[in-house]
Amino acid sequence: MIGECSLSYAIEADGSVYPCDFYVIDRYRLGNIADDSFAEIDRKRQEIGFVEKSREKDPGCLSCRYFPICRGGCRRYRESFLTGSMERNHFCASYRMFFDECLPQLIQMAEKERSFRESKLQ
């Protein structure tokens, strides 16, 4: 998880372009590949501030011990569709329970992977 949206597009069968497969709804439609250039589509993405909005974090996230791992999670699970504000991730409690239980094993796996990659470089 990187905690913010990346530059990607979802293209529907009719050619409609959206900034994410979770946001294939009219208000996020960026254009159509049959009618609009990619420069126009990208300009529209910048106008609506899709990626920039995903960088907003709930203040509680920033002080969480697991923030360096989850970074707030996916925008889809943080954005209130009623108010448009970014809130705490819907799955925050579940992530915390998972990391409380599994973090030592995740660290151990990461260290093994790092050692393996370093051995391949030598």
Active site residue 14: no
For tokens 């106008």, name the residue.
47
Query: CB–CB of 57/85 below 8 Å?
Result: no
> Which of these is catalytic: 21, 35, 36, 42?
21
Query: CB–CB of 29/47 below 8 Å?
Result: no
Which residues have a catalytic role annotated? 21
